[in-house]
Amino acid sequence: MENLETLENQEIELTKTELQECDSHEFACDNLTKAAMIAPEIQSIPAPIAAKNPEDWVTENFTWREFLHSQTAERLGLKNEPTASEKQNIQALAGWLEKLRALLAEKYGRMIPIRITSGFRSHAVNRAVGGAPTSAHRFGNAADIQAVGLSVKQLAYDIFEFIQSGKLPKLDQLIREMPRHGGQWVHIGLKNHNGAVRNQILLYEWKASAAKNAYISVAALKKVETNLA
């Protein structure tokens, strides 16, 4: 497959098996090689922790449980515990999300809670869901998110706008994921497994002309007419 950094407004082809996996939404499509294009695991939102035990919190507004919760891990009895270096990656990711949270509050004049629908995956969990060994989720460098009260299109555009204006650091991957027959979310990848920040902007959505979900690499995201979810 061509390097995605050279692709712009081009459809990225999936094999029949990979497309079925993406449509099932049991897996994570964050590492953009053909061997690794598998759709993100859909996870329920963990119940909030009532008391603020400092050990439970990564940052002021994000808990470790939000990043580590996995239905697959619970179902299969797998551990989803990060190493010391992976914890540092999660802390950096949470710090980036705190900046996003503050910028959204400033823009809309109200608090905009951010939901983490998929976060860290240990080696065992990543293997169980069929994720790529180099998945950014695997190392605590990625999260799939939603914002309460904002559409996925609006959230993705806001993030793009904040990055373009220098208010947020550039990402390795910003992916607006709106496939047919599945949930919707924005994939945030701080860096890839080699530590690179490639500034990739991608869409994953239904292509009527091809009658399938597909990835598209774009140079920019268009402004959204409405910000309502």
Question: How large is the average pLDDT for residues 78-98?
Answer: 98
The answer to the question of residue 186 being in a domain is yes
Number of domains in the chain: 1
Place of tokens 């993406």: 22
The answer to whether residue 44 scores a pLDDT higher than 80 is no
Place of tokens 């002309």: 209
* Residue-number span of the structural domain to which 167 is assigned: 4-217
The answer to the question of residue 228 being in a domain is no
Q: Could you count the other beta carbons within 10 Å of the beta carbon of residue 206?
A: 14
The answer to the question of residue 226 being in a domain is no
The answer to the question of residue 223 being in a domain is no
Q: What is the pLDDT of residue 51?
A: 58
Cβ distance 203 to 214 under 8 Å?
no
The answer to whether residue 10 scores a pLDDT higher than 70 is no
Kindly indicate the confidence band of residue 29, based on its pLDDT and cuts at 50, 70 and 90.
very low
The answer to the question of residue 224 being in a domain is no
The answer to whether residue 69 scores a pLDDT higher than 50 is yes
The answer to the question of residue 222 being in a domain is no
Give pLDDT tens digits for 179-215.
888 789 999 999 999 999 999 999 988 888 888 988 8
Q: Could you count the other beta carbons within 10 Å of the beta carbon of residue 38?
A: 24
Quote the CA–CA distance of 43 and 109 in Å, as a whole number. Answer: 29
Give the pairing type, strands 173-178 and 200-207.
parallel
The answer to the question of residue 126 being in a domain is yes
**Prediction pTM value:** 0.75
Q: Domain of 171: which CATH number? A: 3.30.1380.10
